[in-house]
Structure 1
Amino acid sequence: MAIQDLFSLQGEVAIITGAGRGIGRAIAIAFAQAGASVVCAARTQADIDDTAAQCRQSGSQALAVSCDVSNEDDLAKLVHTSLEQFGKISILVNNAGGAYPNDPLKTDAKAFNRDFNFNVTSAFTLTQLCQPSLLASKGNVINITSAVARYCQAGFSSYGTAKAALTQMTKLLAADFAPDIRVNAVAPGTILTEALGQFLNTEIQEKMTALTPLKSLGQPQDIAAAALFLASPAARWVSGKIIEVDGGAESTTWPF
């Protein structure tokens, strides 16, 4: 197989959650540029409409489906609509997630469980729903976890615990679904997205950059490139693995 074909997604159908902005949008566009038909899912219709329009500029088909991943009915509708439109699902990217920093003494069980369900349970449920189609297509799942899953840092007991669970779930589902469905994850470090931007000013960004060995913060496309590798035939012998894309950081770059 020619090297360019190893990274082609021609003929594949991918669902990407959290595709309205940031990392999810970058992954959707990258997959479309690689030839996949993409289903862009997020809560805000205007955002995913814009992502889908950018995907179509590559000549690929793109569908925008409004979806709250915390709602099981929405997840079922997302899978049904994708299959109705494209006839199969061969790639699932569980990207939707996130949480604010938290004080463990002020975080009640409801808030803790909300963060866990948003980051972990939603990915588990959507993977279950997609499994029959992924099995038929010998497809793959990519979970977007986080470097915070392995860093020891104050203020992230809720989010970090959830992402650590997602990391471990990735490895366990890879064992469950082998050899027919590959399951992997990407663990981003500090990525310049709108979600991070609300915490940044020039001083804070300079501190975070200084704490990063490669002396720059990441871009959404850096994560999209890793996801493209995992989704493509180039990664046919890769499952149960976490690709860390973090500028070389082995400890937190959070400067607070």
Structure 2
Amino acid sequence: MTDKEQQRPAALVTGAATRLGLAFATALADRGCDIALHYHHSSEQAQQQAELIRRRGVRCETFPFDLADDDPGCLVEQVYHCFPRLQVLINSASAYHAGTIADTDRALLQKQFSVNFFAPYLLSGSFAKQVTRGSIINILDNKIAFQQYQYGAYLMSKKALAEFTKLAAMEFSPRIRVNGIAPGVVLPGETRTGDYIDWRIQGIPLQRQGRVEDLTRAMNYLLDSEFVTGQILFVDGGEGMNHRGLNAEDYESGDKVE
């Protein structure tokens, strides 16, 4: 191993075989970070993407792990053993299921919280024990600004993670900075139609869909800005603040807020 390789920082990205996790892992590789690529079911994709990341001139190793059922602290120990210069943790893995509070059973609630809250909580604690100095970024959802009970368990797990972001920032300072990114309409699920996206855009002040690059730029900002901790950066075109509430003037003018 060359001196340059020994000096490269490393990053653990959960859920990094696909979608946003992969985008963050790739952007970190472009920053010169070695990558610990976590995945659960996407084994073939993980191996393919790891090879593409290696072509960027960094080391990339894959780590299969079930964040819902296994102890997340063990994952950090495995990564740290492989990458002693671990400095970054991106909690990107997520479980997303719709369901009102009334329709949520114990199994759904447990699944949402195990992946979306318990895993980042435990990963962060283990990371703080192993790493001298570093940065944690929790990937949230701009839905934390809303009260969308149609996603009750999912939304509560992300709201809990948002509060944890601030709490962990206090505990881990000054060694480790902890921040969050709350994406809006950037990379919708494959089942979302074009009509649905157009409808969502109507509620976004900037009147457009975001790009993955908007999120990786946000990540780079949080990694580079060493005087920022405990913050949640909404990357959603202003959608999260676009709630005027019902009022008499709108009612009388016929401009009904739905």
Please name the residue that 2:249 is paired with.
none
Counterpart of 2:219, as a letter, is A
State the alpha-carbon separation in 1 of the partners of residues 173 and 73 from structure 2.
24
Indicate which of 80, 95, 102 corresponds to 1:83: 80
Partner of 1:69: 67
Contact kept in structure 1, 2:98 and 2:151, CA below 8 Å = yes
SS for the counterpart of 2:100 is coil
Q: Residues 205 and 237 of structure 2 are in contact (CA less than 8 Å); yes or no, is this contact kept in structure 1?
A: yes
TM-score by length of 2: 0.85
Q: Give the match for residue 225 of structure 1.
A: 217
Give the total of aligned pairs: 236
CA deviation map 1:103-148 (0-9, x unaligned) = 22111233213211210001011112221222x2x11111001111
CA distance in 1 between counterparts of 2:204 and 2:173 reads 36
Two-structure CA RMSD over aligned residues (Å)? 1.9
Q: Tell me which of 102, 111, 123 is aligned to 2:108.
A: 111
Q: Is the 8 A contact 2:16 2:25 kept in 1?
A: yes
Aligned partner of 1:215 in structure 2 is 207
Q: State the AA in 2 paired with 1:55.
A: I
Q: 50, 53, 60: which one pairs with 1:52?
A: 50
Shift of 1:152: 2.5
Q: Matched residue of 2:11: which SS?
A: strand
The runs of 4+ residues in structure 1 deviating greater than 6 Å are: none
Deviations 1:171-200 (A, max 9, x none): 00100111111111101112224xx221x1
Aligned partners of 2:15 and 2:21 also within 8 Å? yes
Shift of 1:163: 0.6
Distance in structure 1 (CA, Å) of the matches to 2:31 and 2:211: 19
What is the CA distance between 1:13 and its match in structure 2? Answer: 0.7
* SS of alignment partner, residue 90 of structure 1: strand
Please name the residue that 2:250 is paired with. none
- Structure 1 match to 2:229: 239
8 Å contact kept, 1:190–1:246? yes
Distance 1:222 1:141, change over 3 A: same
Which residue in the other structure is 1:197 paired with? 190
Larger RCO: 1 or 2 (CA < 8 Å, sep 6+)? 1
Give me the whole-angstrom Cα distance separating, in 2, the residues matched to 1:186 and 1:15. Answer: 16
Task: State TM-score, norm by structure 1.
Answer: 0.86
* Aligned 8 A contact 1:26 1:220 in 2: yes
Partner residue, 2:30:
33
Look up the match of 2:4. none
Q: What's the secondary structure of 2:238's corresponding residue?
A: coil
SS for the counterpart of 2:98 is coil
Given residue 202 of structure 1, which amino acid in structure 2 is its aligned partner?
G
* Equivalent residue in structure 2 for 1:153, among 121, 140, 148: 148
Q: Which is greater in Rg?
A: 2
> CA–CA distance in 2 between the matches of 1:13 and 1:212?
36
Q: Equivalent residue for 1:180?
A: 175
